[in-house]
Amino acid sequence: MAEQISNYQCPACTGPLHFDGKSGKLQCDYCGSSFSVQEIEALYKEKDEAAAQATAQAKEEQGGESNWAQAQGLKAYNCPSCGAELICDESTAATSCPYCGNPSIVPGQLSDMLKPDYVIPFKLGKEEAKAALKKYYQGKPLLPKAFSRENHIEEIKGVYVPFWLYDGTAEADMSFQATRTTSVTLGDTVTTTTEYYNVHRAGTVRFEKIPVDASKKMPDAHMDAIEPYDYDELKPFSTAYLPGFLADKYDQGPDACSERAETRAQNTAADLMAQTVGGYTSVSPTEKHVSVRRGKPIYALLPVWMLSTRWAGKNYLFAMNGQTGKLIGDLPVSSGRALAWFAGVSAGVTAVLSVLMALFMN
């Protein structure tokens, strides 16, 4: 029976290959040879198809996994390199063997209906992610000193996260009440003229590729905050981009995720309509109707570096856009430092203001 997992081996020395973001090629860890994505695709096409078929067959038979793994909602595969049993999530599509370290792909997770349309390959590596985190700690006056000193990265992993990219058109129809006020003072009489207007705006706003992560495992806030991605670098999907990184197939369908994209589109359309109302003293919306017509979503894998650290018994999770390098994550706040800054700024401003006021008044 064919293996459900395939690993890309160097055609020259059979060493494991991994995708290198900088060169955009697959490189051999051992002999240093590099191969283009197209070369490896052609070489491993048959192997991948056989692995995908084996996965489909195993699903039908339901006998490919140990009973324990099945009960936990996990899947068991055998590493094609060393034969060790790999226990993975149901959604795992790319991983590495914990015993021999070889990158492994589960093509069946990303074939047929589950095959992503596009992928943005990793451009930045592990070292860049570490450096970005170090830089992120700088210029944060409220960060406890001990955090950056004692803090160590516990885990760092490059993950191709499944995303739905939604196209759509928002239809907005909004009414506002606006006022224009002018005031003239003559002597001790103030004359105020207020003009009232009924303002109506209606139109359409087109959206392209609003991303929503389709993985339950990934925190939405982290995935949203590392936007945007440069879609000019979207490539037709190939499993050859995956070796060396983790990848998941989606576990939330396009309908389940669409609400988040639609809410964002509705809010933006309303903002854009409101922005066209200008030249008034005050504007307040009286009616708002915004609906979104959604197009067919695109399924894409986008590169994310996930970094986790632990400090004072608490986990801190950071995410970095694997294409642009934008890094985000919540940091602890030192109460002592916050208090010191509050007291310092308050005292400083009070003192300066008092001196200025005293000079001005006396």
| Cα 319 to Cα 327: distance, rounded to the nearest angstrom | 6
Does position 13 bind other proteins by CB under 8 A?
Answer: no
Does position 256 bind other proteins by CB under 8 A?
Answer: no
Q: Which residues from 190-229 bind other proteins, rule CB under 8 A?
A: 190-210, 219-222, 224-225, 227-228
Q: Which residues from 156-195 bind other proteins, rule CB under 8 A?
A: 173, 178, 184-195
Give least dist CB 220 to other proteins, A: 6
Residue 248 backbone zone (phi > 0: left; psi -120 to 50: alpha; other: beta): beta
Does position 296 bind other proteins by CB under 8 A?
Answer: no
Give least dist CB 265 to other proteins, A: 5
Give least dist CB 197 to other proteins, A: 5
Does position 271 bind other proteins by CB under 8 A?
Answer: yes
157 burial level (CB within 10 Å; 0-12, 13-18, 19+): middle
Give least dist CB 261 to other proteins, A: 7
Q: Which residues from 319-348 bind other proteins, rule CB under 8 A?
A: 319, 328-333, 338, 341-348
| Cα 6 to Cα 170: distance, rounded to the nearest angstrom | 43
Which is nearest to 51 in space by CA: 111, 113, 116?
A: 111
Find all residues with CB under 8 Å of 167, minimum gap 6, and list them: 207, 208, 209, 294, 295, 296, 297, 298
Give least dist CB 32 to other proteins, A: 38
Tell me, by CB under 8 A, how many residues bind other proteins.
78
| Cα 18 to Cα 160: distance, rounded to the nearest angstrom | 14
Does position 261 bind other proteins by CB under 8 A?
Answer: yes
Give the dihedral sign, CA 129/131/132/137. Answer: positive
How far does CA 354 lie from the centroid of its chain? 49
Does position 113 bind other proteins by CB under 8 A?
Answer: no
Does position 358 bind other proteins by CB under 8 A?
Answer: yes
